[in-house]
Amino acid sequence: MKKAFIIGVALTSLMAISACTRTQETAAIGAGAGAIIGGVTTGSVQGAVVGGVVGGVAGALVGQVAGEPNQCYYRASDGTLYKDACPSS
């Protein structure tokens, strides 16, 4: 019963992403997948919650990078982070 509930919540959240940005979409997909994997692996709601949080954060990070092709992040000598075109190979 718990597994069916967890999967139902995850699938519902996946269907709600139709009007989102790329970052929001990948965060929702990551959260849903993490919740399913965490819930099935541990057999508990706590595992699904932890999996959902970890998956959501990972998905958001992937979405930020995937939304900006050919852009690389660099760190200046003073420690500031900036974005510029990637070097061509």
Is pTM beyond 0.85? Reply is no
Q: What is the pLDDT of residues 61-71, one digit of tens each?
A: 888 777 677 77
Overall number of domains in the chain? 1
44 contacts: CB under 8 Å, gap ≥ 6: 2
Taking a C-beta distance cutoff of 8 angstroms, is the pair 27, 56 a contact?
Answer: yes
What is the per-residue pLDDT for 51? 92
User: 68 is in which domain, residue-wise?
Assistant: 2-85
pLDDT band at 14 (very low <50, low <70, confident <90, very high): low
